[in-house]
A and B are shown apart, each in its own frame.
Chain A
Amino acid sequence: MPELLYLDTARLGRMSPGAAAAHRDFVALAGDEGGGLYFDRFLADGFRDCPDAFATRYPGLANWGGVGGLKAGLRELAGCAPDTPLLLASRSTALMRFAARLLFHPCRNILTTDLDWPPYRAVLAAESAAAARTLTEVPLREGVLSGRLTDAELVEVVCDRFARAGCDGLYLTAVNNLGVRFPVERVVRRLEAAHAVRVVVVDAAQEFCHVPLPLLTVSCDLYLAGAHKWLRGYHPLGVAFYGRRQSCGRVRTVLAQAVRSGEIDDPLLRFTARLESGTDEHLSETVNLAPLFSTTGALADANDSAGAWSNRLRNREAAAATLLAVGWEPVLPDREFRSGILLVRAERPTIQAADSDSLRAALRVAGIAATTYPGGLVRLSMPSDSWRPGELDHLGRAFKLIA
Chain B
Amino acid sequence: MYTPPRPRRTVLLSFRFLGTALVGSLAMALVSTFADLPAQLAVLGSLISILGGLFVSYLEQEEEREVRRTQILERLAVPLALAPEDDLYPLYLAYCRAVSALAEQTDPLLREIAALKLASVNAQIETLAAGTVVFAGTETWRAVYEQLLAGGTVREYRSVAWVRSPNYWQDAPGRQSMRANFEAVHRRVLIERIAILPDADWPTDTDLPAEPIRSWLQEQHDHGLHLVLVRESALRGEPDLLADFGIYGDRAVGTQELDEHSRTVRFTLSFDSQAVRLADDRWRRLAIFGIPFQSLLATPPA
Task: Scan residues 273-312 of chain A and give those whose CB is less than 8 A from a CB of chain B.
Answer: none
> Is the C-beta of A261 less than 8 angstroms from some C-beta in chain B?
yes
Partner-binding segment picked from A104-112, A348-356, A359-367: A104-112
A177 to B188, CA, bound (A): 31
Contact between A246 and B224, CB atoms less than 8 A apart = no
A131 to B218, CA, bound (A): 23
Q: Across the interface, which residues of B come within 8 angstroms of A250, CB to CB? A: 221-224
Kindly identify which residue among B188, B224, B292 contacts A196, using a CB–CB cutoff of 8 Å: B292
Chain A 236-277 interface mask (CB, 8 Å, partner B; 1/0): 000000001111011011100100010000000000000000
Q: Across the interface, which residues of B come within 8 angstroms of A254, CB to CB? A: 222-224
Most chain B CB within a 10 A radius of its CB, from A196, A198, A247: A196
Question: Closest chain A residue to B190 by CB distance?
Answer: A108
Q: Across the interface, which residues of A come within 8 angstroms of B182, CB to CB? A: 257
Separation in Å of the B216 CB from the closest CB of chain A? 13
Contact between B222 and A245, CB atoms less than 8 A apart = no
Report how many residues on chain B are interfacial, defined by Cβ distance under 8 Å. 20
Question: Closest chain A residue to B183 by CB distance?
Answer: A257
Kindly identify which residue among A106, A132, A196 contacts B155, using a CB–CB cutoff of 8 Å: A132
Contact between A133 and B224, CB atoms less than 8 A apart = no
Contact between A257 and B188, CB atoms less than 8 A apart = no
Contact between A105 and B185, CB atoms less than 8 A apart = yes
Task: Scan residues 212-261 of chain B and give those whose CB is less than 8 A from a CB of chain A.
Answer: 218, 221-226
Contact between B186 and A261, CB atoms less than 8 A apart = yes
Q: Across the interface, which residues of A come within 8 angstroms of B298, CB to CB? A: 244-246
Question: Closest chain B residue to A250 by CB distance?
Answer: B222
Q: Across the interface, which residues of A come within 8 angstroms of B192, CB to CB? A: 106
Q: Across the interface, which residues of B come within 8 angstroms of A53, CB to CB? A: none
> Is the C-beta of B10 less than 8 angstroms from some C-beta in chain A?
no
> Is the C-beta of B38 less than 8 angstroms from some C-beta in chain A?
no
Contact between A253 and B223, CB atoms less than 8 A apart = yes
Q: Across the interface, which residues of A come within 8 angstroms of B223, CB to CB? A: 105, 250, 253-254, 257
Contact between A104 and B188, CB atoms less than 8 A apart = yes
> Is the C-beta of B300 less than 8 angstroms from some C-beta in chain A?
yes
Chain A contact surface mostly: loop
A196 to B182, CA, bound (A): 22
Given A196-B295, A198-B294, is A249 in contact with B222 using a C-beta cutoff of 8 Å?
A: yes
> Is the C-beta of B297 less than 8 angstroms from some C-beta in chain A?
yes
Separation in Å of the A12 CB from the closest CB of chain B? 34
Most chain A CB within a 10 A radius of its CB, from B190, B294, B297: B294
A102 to B222, CA, bound (A): 10
Separation in Å of the B221 CB from the closest CB of chain A? 6
Q: Across the interface, which residues of B come within 8 angstroms of A104, CB to CB? A: 188
Kindly identify which residue among B224, B297, B300 contacts A106, using a CB–CB cutoff of 8 Å: B224
Given A198-B226, A253-B223, A261-B186, is A246 in contact with B297 using a C-beta cutoff of 8 Å?
A: yes
Work out how many contacts link A and B, with CB atoms closer than 8 A. Answer: 50
Question: Closest chain B residue to A131 by CB distance?
Answer: B188
Kindly identify which residue among A106, A131, A133, A261 contacts B226, using a CB–CB cutoff of 8 Å: A106
Separation in Å of the B61 CB from the closest CB of chain A? 65
Chain A 116-159 interface mask (CB, 8 Å, partner B; 1/0): 00000000000000111100000000000000000000000000
Q: Across the interface, which residues of A come within 8 angstroms of B185, CB to CB? A: 105
Q: Across the interface, which residues of A come within 8 angstroms of B226, CB to CB? A: 106, 198
Contact between A105 and B222, CB atoms less than 8 A apart = no
A369 to B295, CA, bound (A): 47
Contact between A257 and B190, CB atoms less than 8 A apart = no
Task: Scan residues 180-226 of chain A and give those whose CB is less than 8 A from a CB of chain B.
Answer: 196, 198
A261 to B182, CA, bound (A): 13
Q: Across the interface, which residues of B come within 8 angstroms of A130, CB to CB? A: 188
A249 to B182, CA, bound (A): 14
Given A106-B226, A198-B226, is A247 in contact with B186 using a C-beta cutoff of 8 Å?
A: no
A105 to B189, CA, bound (A): 8
Q: Across the interface, which residues of A come within 8 angstroms of B300, CB to CB? A: 245
A122 to B282, CA, bound (A): 37
Contact between A105 and B224, CB atoms less than 8 A apart = yes
Q: Across the interface, which residues of A come within 8 angstroms of B297, CB to CB? A: 245-246
Separation in Å of the A341 CB from the closest CB of chain B? 33
Given A130-B188, A254-B223, is A249 in contact with B294 using a C-beta cutoff of 8 Å?
A: no
Given A105-B185, A249-B218, A249-B222, is A133 in contact with B190 using a C-beta cutoff of 8 Å?
A: yes
Q: Which 7 pairs show the lowest CB-CB distances between chains A and B?
A: A105-B224, A246-B297, A131-B188, A253-B222, A249-B222, A106-B226, A246-B298
